[in-house]
Every structure is written in structure tokens, then in C-alpha cells.
Amino acid sequence: MTEVVKSPCISVCALDEDDLCMGCYRTMQEITDWSEYTNEVKREVIVRAQQRMKRRYNIS
């Protein structure tokens, strides 16, 4: 049995001017579609969200 990828939500739900969540750095579309994604796509979304967060804070 494959374990379900958990949402990266940290309950800091506020969108910035770019429609990115200030808590998890997912787009509104990614948040809305999360439950429909496969585990593979969820992992890809998490990687993209982490990259967005790093860019926001200039982290290498």
C-alpha cells in the first residue's frame, strides 16, 4: 500500500499579491486541486513550493 502524500499546509492561509499562500507557497490552483492530484504530482507541487519559498527569501 502506498502512503498518501500529506498536504504541506501549515494553517497560515493567506494569499500574497501573486496568489501564493504565505504559509505553504502553493498557488491557489495547486491548493484547490490538491485532493485530485496523484502522489507523484503532489510531490512535484511540494518541490515547486519549496523552490518558491527559497526564491522569496533568497535561500540557496
pLDDT tens digit sequence for 18-55: 999 999 999 999 999 999 999 999 999 999 999 999 99
Cβ-proximal residues to 51 (8 Å cutoff; 6+ apart), any chain: none
Q: Give the separation between CA 20 and CA 7, rounded to whole angstroms.
A: 15
The per-residue pLDDT for range 4-23, each reduced to its tens digit, is 999 999 999 999 999 999 99
pTM of the model: 0.91
Q: Give the separation between CA 2 and CA 9, rounded to whole angstroms.
A: 21
